[in-house]
A and B are shown apart, each in its own frame.
Chain A
């Protein structure tokens, strides 16, 4: 330890105990925050990936269903290429389409076939690697089993073992952490949702809006029912009156003026309405 380092350590030691504890707590807090953030990121990614995968499989199913409904006999799913029943049909089809459409189809076809080629390319690489390793085995085996290279291979095996232990530790940690991270994100999302809903529900503007919309809807329904019943009144009475050969309703005089005034005052919330105002008009009718 240099003098400088010794000095620093000494000053650390000379600090009061409470101060040291505080700084340790702070570091722990920082670490736990970092851990939470990491978990949050991991959980978020895991959940998002799950969601995307599920959604993609659903969309895929839907699109497959739709395509099979449209052209049940023209699509061969195994090779994911569209084949027409006859060549003449394909020519007819391409004659109807514009150049732009054809170019688009060509691009889509190219993308799909590239994806196919890439996946088949990977399997080819795997097969080739296997073959190479099998072919090289007679050459590499004597080397690896040679007693001269024994210490080297021992070290190599040790390294491999250590690496395997480390990887298995990571796997266990990852397994635990993934569950925790998912739980953390789910809890955070549900809490955030609840808080947002509560916030929205408590906002007077939103409440007013919801209230006015529901009132408006209820009023509309009531109005509709009223209109229908008034129409039904008119219709039923007309039918019955014509059947019984009674005077049509249109030829019967309306209610007396005081009754209509009363109705109008009830309509306006019992405000006084002058009878003479509508008297002339009603007499003319």
Chain B
């Protein structure tokens, strides 16, 4: 099972040459984040559509109207009430649940998994619920100062953002990551011409 016992094996050579287990960079993580946000947005849209269809099918508006007359100060329509609740609270809750759930149970969100990234603690263990919660809350701190906490990944020795520093976590490549040498050569050539 263990391929590394044979140090002449291709598996071992690939391991040595690749960035497997190295700290993941800003762009990979940013792409993963974009994918996650796309998934969340599409899911929220689907849920909203489902709710509005349910309201129409079961004529819930009429039932709500009957109750809203008894309670003064409530919004005039059910969809208005739901959108008030949804916009303020539900969306944030959905995002938080999404990230924390996937971090704890899978070690990475679908976007991160697609990019071959994983979140682990600084000593190499799996992330716990409280650590995940702390990391999520620290996201806001990283974003609050012109996203400096996220851009810190560029300059940090372990490619950690502020949220990673606070939660003692780091993001690593879980695939035999190798930079595309042709792509790099092209970029370097172009920048040297300038």
Contact = CB atoms under 8 A, between A and B. Distances in A.
Interface of A: 222, 225-237, 239-241, 244, 246-247, 252, 254-256, 258-264, 266-268, 271-274, 277-278, 281
Contacts of B1: 271-272
Contacts of A230: 19, 25, 28, 173, 177-180
Contacts of B21: 254-255, 259-264
Interface string B16-28: 1001111111111
B124 A267 contact: no
What size tier do the contact residues of chain B reach?
35 or more
Interface stretch (B71-79, B142-150, B153-161): B153-161
Contact of B180 (A231, A256, A278): A231
B155 A266 contact: no
Interface of B: 1-5, 7, 15-16, 19-28, 31, 107, 114-116, 118, 120, 122-125, 154-155, 157-158, 170, 172-180, 183-184, 187-188, 191
19 contacts: A230-B19, A231-B183, A232-B27, A232-B28, A233-B179, A237-B25, A241-B155, A255-B21, A259-B170, A260-B21, A260-B22, A262-B21, A263-B172, A264-B15, A264-B20, A266-B107, A267-B20, A271-B2, A281-B7
Given A237-B25, A241-B154, 20 more contacts: A222-B114, A226-B116, A226-B175, A228-B183, A230-B19, A230-B173, A231-B184, A233-B179, A236-B154, A240-B154, A254-B21, A255-B172, A259-B124, A260-B20, A263-B118, A264-B21, A267-B174, A271-B2, A273-B4, A281-B16
Given A233-B24, A244-B155, A272-B2, A263 B174 contact: yes
Contacts, number: 127
A46 B41 CA distance: 56
B118 to A, nearest CB: 6
A229 B154 CA distance: 14
User: Which residue among B21, B118, B183 has the maximum number of chain A CB atoms within 10 Å of its CB?
Assistant: B21
Contacts of B27: 229, 232-233, 236
B126 to A, nearest CB: 9
Contacts of A244: 155
Given A246-B155, A271-B1, A255 B174 contact: no
A267 B175 contact: yes
Contacts of A264: 4, 15, 20-21
Nearest to B30: A229
A256 B174 contact: no
A56 to B, nearest CB: 48
Contact of A277 (B5, B25, B124): B5
B33 to A, nearest CB: 12
Contact of B31 (A229, A240, A246): A229
Contacts of B188: 235
B133 to A, nearest CB: 22
Contact of B178 (A227, A259, A260, A273): A227
A274 B26 contact: no
Contact of B187 (A227, A235, A281): A235
